[in-house]
Structure 1
């Protein structure tokens, strides 16, 4: 029975059926019932079950397996089991538990173990801990490898400290390791994630200028493209697109999805749609980018039609998908369609509404002039309305001249953002449109007395180089 059970468990893991494999393991050892099961797992089975927990982000089951390990000396002393436990906790975001497993390991001479914990620190915004671990490694006579250095660099890059990341690259070179594509991609990714787009583009240019020694990969290209779409720098964005064609990676899912997103955000919807239609495979992210692009460019009915096609193709919509399609309904004045999609989101697809969905519905109703319904919707919300929800109502009241409700929305908006004068200025505009100049002066005095500041608008201008 043990051999047959192990074969089934291994087969499930190889086929990617992690839920089935985990169920098979838990049922066989009877962990959930707290009693001894029909199978006493061998050391080889436990890492397989822990990998399933990692893929499923099921830390609760991982803790149950950890408890089993502690009751079996043969498992507790197995280095592979300990490494799998460490990896499971690290990738599930349980940093303290990962460190505890690391500290209790009988032997830590394997560099893989150190790199797992380093990656955990880097991934969860603790680059100083990662660097301290590298120092400790050296103190114990362990030499960092290329993976170690790349993990340390990525930690500081993700934290937005590219100066330290660059210093570590220098130390890495002194240690005999040349930066590879992972090193460069980590720094580019960190800059993009921290909205330091100019630096990201500079790093990418340096990488390309380095010649054939380190060529950008599909991961690098998909990472750098948001640095162009967010500033509408189409000239250089198209150059990267051309590079992806020459490199033969344009049709890779991550690259083609990033290209669709870039063109859609820059307003080139037809170009985005041509790329989208040529894609052999599409992820939910790809569908979302295209639906958002159509909605924001005024092609609202086309966005809703694309959402319907997404469902017919068997793709799974997520919370961003519904934000996109509800935005399309709002801009297109499709109130009943939007309300139906909002209900279906919860009842058919199990997506719990977030604040952005509530704001979309308020915007949808408000633009259509259904202000009382919008306000009733806000009062029924299970979450505390944020500035986007109250702002959507205030903007609608201004457009439709409902001063009484506008004053209420403005007061709520001031409660949420007491230092922002935007709500008072919107209310002032609404009052002015109805000729209530005395009230306008009263609002302006309030802004001056409370020293409120309007958040400045801004735009990106790319300096010629």
Structure 2
């Protein structure tokens, strides 16, 4: 590879990386280094090219490509000894969730600076191993390295995501004692951890403390997109609109993550017209944005509009995922669009290569059962390649209640009790089916049984009761 040609290739690689075109980075890398016979095995890639390609793997969660690059590194002694390359390898494995591989790279490094320790520590925190992160921080200090703000933030984030609020708060106190003040990353980690664990009240309180409590830290777009899901109910929408106003004032409303979070918040609050207005104004939309809008339309009764929106996705370059089809099948169920739902279910696998999950099976049973096609719904369950869960059987049981099929309801209820023996959901839905059939005496018997056994209502199945 001539010098000018190499220089041009590196410029393309670097430019694509800066623009976030990570797939193109990998295409350039493997095309030049692996697919051209004239250079295969004879030319070492520039040391800066390998870390760039590894960062692309990390962004795309392309562990398989990352392993290929690792194999290439191992054949080049100069690259294998390069500290920057080793750090990029460790970070790639950590961000792809391959923590054991990241630790192996870490252990084999002859020298480790603070960046290396922080990369592994962040990997532990990100993937639900906060105790490992904290132990690594202690070990780091024992080796004479003082934690910096990145170290502290990674540890705080790990415990916040693990819903260990006390430990997260204690670490914030410890970092202050160590001379570091919480920054926007610290606050965002605490807020997003609370939202992730459905502690919406705590998330809102933390955000208010950050904005008005003397923290002297301005929320970033990441903070706003993290906290907005905490306002996704009718009762909290007023404060959600205040956050929206803050996003407008600070100029981040049209950033992809913030815009998507706003669409999701308004859609979940039932303000579907506001959600659609924002959706239509967005210059860029992710799959998450499309899913939020389709779910919002479906749950608000705009079922045909939800399916119509899906038809736009391929034309605008959006790639549907499993949640997209959950939203679509929900829309078809609520809208009574049985044939459309069947076609979408087939297309999910045949056109998009998405294998059905249990939630898709439950949606199909709900679709068929809601339309009164109980026998077909039961046949669908029997043909499932996986064991049905409580949501699948609960969907059939709810349909039996609506259509008064006591015999099939009793069968479905027995299956619900088998997979969720501590839940009252099966009994509750069965009592509804018996009540619809006029068997009030049996209803009272079931209610006494639930009370005597002190069974708990499975809240997650409540949507299945809708007729």
TM-score (norm 2): 0.89
2:245 is aligned with 1:242: yes
- Contact map agreement 1:29 1:41 (CA 8 A) in 2: no
CA, structure 1 residues 6+350, in 2 after alignment: closer, same or farther (shift >3 Å)? Answer: farther
CA drift at 1:184: 0.8
Q: Give the match for residue 11 of structure 1.
A: 12
Q: Give the match for residue 258 of structure 2.
A: 255
CA, structure 1 residues 293+412, in 2 after alignment: closer, same or farther (shift >3 Å)? Answer: same
Mapping of 1:148-163 within 5 angstroms? 148-163=151-166
How far, CA to CA, are the matches of 1:437 and 1:246 in structure 2? 59
- Contact map agreement 1:284 1:315 (CA 8 A) in 2: yes
Q: Give the match for residue 461 of structure 1.
A: none
Q: Give the match for residue 267 of structure 1.
A: 270
- Matched length: 452
Mapping of 1:53-64 within 5 angstroms? 53-64=57-68
2:306 is aligned with 1:303: yes
- Contact map agreement 1:229 1:262 (CA 8 A) in 2: yes
Cα deviation digits, residues 240-280 of structure 1 (max 9, x gap): 11211222222222112111111111111122222222222
Mapping of 1:56-135 within 5 angstroms? 56-108=60-112, 110-135=113-138
CA, structure 1 residues 74+296, in 2 after alignment: closer, same or farther (shift >3 Å)? Answer: same
CA, structure 1 residues 29+232, in 2 after alignment: closer, same or farther (shift >3 Å)? Answer: farther
How far, CA to CA, are the matches of 1:295 and 1:392 in structure 2? 18
CA drift at 1:437: 4.9
How far, CA to CA, are the matches of 1:241 and 1:269 in structure 2? 16
Cα deviation digits, residues 165-217 of structure 1 (max 9, x gap): 22222222222222111111111111111111111111111111145831111
SS of the residue aligned with 2:392?
helix
Q: Give the match for residue 411 of structure 2.
A: 408
Instruction: Tell which deviates more after alignment, 209-218 or 155-164.
Output: 209-218
Cα deviation digits, residues 364-423 of structure 1 (max 9, x gap): 111111111111111111121111111111111111122221121111111111121221
Q: Which runs of 5+ in 2 are unaligned?
A: 461-467
- Contact map agreement 1:288 1:320 (CA 8 A) in 2: yes
How far, CA to CA, are the matches of 2:45 and 2:228 in structure 1? 47
- Contact map agreement 2:234 2:270 (CA 8 A) in 1: no
CA, structure 1 residues 121+29, in 2 after alignment: closer, same or farther (shift >3 Å)? Answer: farther
CA drift at 1:71: 4.1
2:369 is aligned with 1:361: no
SS of the residue aligned with 2:387?
coil
Q: Give the match for residue 33 of structure 1.
A: none
- Contact map agreement 2:33 2:45 (CA 8 A) in 1: no
TM-score (norm 1): 0.90
Cα deviation digits, residues 103-142 of structure 1 (max 9, x gap): 221111x211111011111101111221222222222222
How far, CA to CA, are the matches of 2:314 and 2:64 in structure 1? 32
Q: Give the match for residue 453 of structure 1.
A: 455
- Contact map agreement 1:28 1:38 (CA 8 A) in 2: no
CA, structure 1 residues 385+44, in 2 after alignment: closer, same or farther (shift >3 Å)? Answer: same
2:429 is aligned with 1:426: yes
Mapping of 1:293-372 within 5 angstroms? 293-372=296-375
SS of the residue aligned with 1:128?
helix
Instruction: Tell which deviates more after alignment, 113-122 or 405-414.
Output: 405-414
SS of the residue aligned with 2:313?
helix
Instruction: Tell which deviates more after alignment, 440-449 or 360-369.
Output: 440-449
